[in-house]
Chain A
């Protein structure tokens, strides 16, 4: 069965960096794009962007350029997101989600369990 297993919670100080992982199983990794979604505590869902798992080409949403880097390692079916120069406002759950393409547009059919990143001095 399709699974997206995300790495564990992180506690970081402001200015530090963090690299989150999303390991896929149960399907052909390179056949589907992976998206990243942020959810600050008690808030809604913010789409951060996506990565073409076949080419490794990332696309970033507005507001998620510069400090955010998406990458993949197809040898281990894993996508990564690195956030640098962490700020307290980066405290949030981060989800990866597989993108399925239907007859009428794409949608996110499988989600990871989420990784909580806490940024605090």
Chain B
């Protein structure tokens, strides 16, 4: 099975900061990588699919990059409403493994 890891597990940043979250797969998944945001007490929400495609309605400060085994989610200017946990998800082998999550809060 494909295993997903994320780093860091948590981070604290100031409003306006550039934030980067990394996701790594245990084998190549080409670009079969999605990112979700889960705000506290809410259901997950799709941000990025296919590694770098922005879901409709998601602010452009969110971007994704990478291919193969290494991927990045970037928030170009952190806002207070971005507080929550971010999960990557692989869909390469149709088993939809999620990463363990990265918790983001405001400093």
Q: Which residues of A contact B (CB under 8 A)?
A: 35, 37, 44-47, 61-62, 95, 97, 100, 102-109, 111-114
Contact = CB atoms under 8 A, between A and B. Distances in A.
Contacts of B107: none
Given A109-B55, A113-B43, A44 B32 contact: no
B interface majority secondary structure: loop
Interface residues of B, number: 29
Given A105-B92, A106-B91, A44 B101 contact: yes
B91 A107 contact: yes
B18 to A, nearest CB: 25
A interface majority secondary structure: strand
B50 A105 contact: yes
B71 interface: no
Contact of A111 (B43, B91, B98): B43
B20 to A, nearest CB: 20
